[in-house]
């Protein structure tokens, strides 16, 4: 897969914002970094996981912190290169490939920008098929890979190596407080893994799926009266385990936000466009966690909730939401791997303090 035009970058970022389920970072910041490389003739090189040697050394690179801070805090390309140099020096070995940790407007693009900059391939995969607020909430960790050694840095050169931790949650806890000390938005290189690990433990194809979605939205704007018709044709294909539905069509009547401990917590309230007695609410911690229609749950983590402009179907991150905005909210089934019991233990509803058990999107009722 070649990402060699600004249009493709925008398509990929657009699709990644949808799969980022409110989080995963602002696409504008990520695009700027990648566009700079592409304009100067350096392109990211995307490979299939199957192309990796089993003993290849593969690492994740990601932005870590509160998305609300990221949008105010544009960072240079030098940070991720510095992470790579530090990781290679620490491990005493060259890195062979990069794999995204999550899907998102920033965190799908950052690995591509680093790929273009240094010439390493990026694997078409990630560890969630979506975005999550915690570093340990990845299939890599659930299936036995370790977050550490992890390198953290900001653009000023403050650099911390979390060498080893008793649990991946502890690595997350350390990264979060270090992030707070280093400006609330940092970059991290983590999950040094083998090629064999990536092949067996990653959610495969998430970069190409992001591109498919982003391109589909763009084309649907001219090909369909309602671009959501074209979008749903992509997102809802039960024969290949894709389930999606429009959960709500309405406007935002209230948003509560708090940026605390390096996260963006929030609560979004909506009502129907014509019938304001119809209510809809979404809870978020960087990413959307649960959606309720008229008080009844209609989609819950790890299934995906996406907020899109109701006219253009442009996906919007949680920090881009504003009072009065008219949105359609779409629910998507998580990748089947993400719904396994061992995964739900790490990033199911209880991991976020939500009392409900997980119920698949396609088994939940919604009011028309």
List of residues contacting its own copies (CB under 8 A): 86, 90, 156-166, 170, 173-174, 177-178, 180-182
Beta bridge partners of 141: none
Q: How far is the CB of 149 from its own copies (least distance, A)?
A: 9
DSSP 222-248: HHSSSHHHHHHHHH-BGGGTB-EEEEE
Q: How far is the CB of 163 from its own copies (least distance, A)?
A: 4
Q: Give the nearer residue to its own copies in terms of CB position, either 41 or 157.
A: 157
Q: How far is the CB of 87 from its own copies (least distance, A)?
A: 11
Q: How far is the CB of 229 from its own copies (least distance, A)?
A: 49
Q: How far is the CB of 261 from its own copies (least distance, A)?
A: 11
Q: Give the nearer residue to its own copies in terms of CB position, either 174 or 291.
A: 174
CA distance 255 to 194: 43
Say how many Å lie between the first and final Cα of the chain, rounded.
Answer: 39
Q: Give the nearer residue to its own copies in terms of CB position, either 7 or 158.
A: 158
Q: Give the nearer residue to its own copies in terms of CB position, either 15 or 133.
A: 133
DSSP 188-204: EEEEEEEHHHHHHHSEE
Q: Give the nearer residue to its own copies in terms of CB position, either 3 or 87.
A: 87
Q: Give the nearer residue to its own copies in terms of CB position, either 53 or 163.
A: 163
Say if CB 284 and CB 335 are below 8 A apart.
no
Coil/strand/helix, residue 99: coil
Beta bridge partners of 326: 251
CA distance 267 to 275: 21
Q: How far is the CB of 33 from its own copies (least distance, A)?
A: 23
Q: How far is the CB of 298 from its own copies (least distance, A)?
A: 36
Q: Give the nearer residue to its own copies in terms of CB position, either 149 or 216.
A: 149
DSSP state of 50: G
Residue 42, exposed/middle/buried by CB under 10 A (0-12, 13-18, 19+)?
Answer: middle
| Pairing state between β 185-194 and 150-153 | antiparallel
Q: Cα 351 to the chain's mean position, in Å?
A: 18
Q: Which of 9, 13, 104, 31 is nearest to 61 (CA)?
A: 104
**Residue labelled with tokens 């995964």:** 343
Q: Give the nearer residue to its own copies in terms of CB position, either 76 or 238.
A: 76
Q: How far is the CB of 170 from its own copies (least distance, A)?
A: 6
Q: Which of 228, 207, 214, 248 is nearest to 331 (CA)?
A: 248
Beta bridge partners of 296: 293
Beta bridge partners of 330: 246, 306
């Amino acid at each position: 897969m070649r990402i060699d035009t600004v249009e493709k970058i925008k398509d990929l970022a657009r699709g990644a914002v949808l799969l980022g389920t409110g989080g995963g970072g602002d696409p504008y910041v990520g695009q700027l970094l990648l566009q700079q490389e592409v304009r100067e003739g350096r392109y990211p090189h995307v490979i299939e996981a199957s192309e990796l040697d089993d003993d290849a050394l593969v690492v994740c690179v990601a932005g870590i912190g509160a998305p609300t801070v990221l949008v105010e805090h544009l960072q240079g390309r030098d940070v991720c290169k510095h992470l790579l140099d530090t990781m290679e020096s620490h491990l005493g070995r060259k890195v062979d490939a990069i794999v995204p940790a999550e899907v998102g407007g920033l965190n799908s693009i950052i690995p591509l920008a680093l790929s273009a900059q240094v010439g390493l391939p990026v694997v078409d995969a990630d560890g969630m098929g979506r975005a999550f607020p915690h570093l340990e909430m990845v299939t890599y960790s659930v299936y036995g890979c370790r977050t550490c050694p992890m390198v953290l840095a900001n653009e000023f050169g403050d650099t911390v190596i979390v060498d080893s931790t008793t649990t991946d949650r502890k690595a997350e806890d350390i990264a979060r407080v270090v992030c707070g000390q280093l400006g609330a938005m940092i970059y991290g290189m983590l999950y040094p893994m083998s090629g064999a690990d990536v092949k067996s433990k990653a959610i495969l194809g998430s970069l190409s799926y992001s591109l498919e979605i982003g391109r589909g939205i763009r084309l649907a704007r001219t090909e369909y009266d309602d671009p959501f018709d074209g979008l749903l044709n992509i997102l809802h294909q039960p024969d290949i385990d894709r389930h999606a539905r429009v959960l709500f069509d309405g406007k935002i009547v209230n948003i509560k936000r708090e940026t605390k401990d390096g996260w963006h917590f929030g609560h979004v309230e909506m009502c129907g466009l014509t019938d304001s007695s119809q209510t809809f609410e979404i809870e978020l911690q960087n990413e959307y966690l649960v959606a309720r229609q008229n008080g009844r749950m209609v989609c819950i983590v790890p299934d995906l909730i996406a907020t899109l402009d109701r006219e253009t179907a442009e996906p919007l991150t949680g920090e881009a939401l504003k009072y009065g905005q008219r949105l359609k909210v779409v629910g998507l089934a998580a990748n089947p791997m993400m719904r396994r019991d061992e995964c739900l233990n790490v990033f199911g509803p209880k991991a976020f303090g939500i009392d409900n058990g997980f119920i698949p999107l396609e088994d939940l009722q919604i009011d028309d």
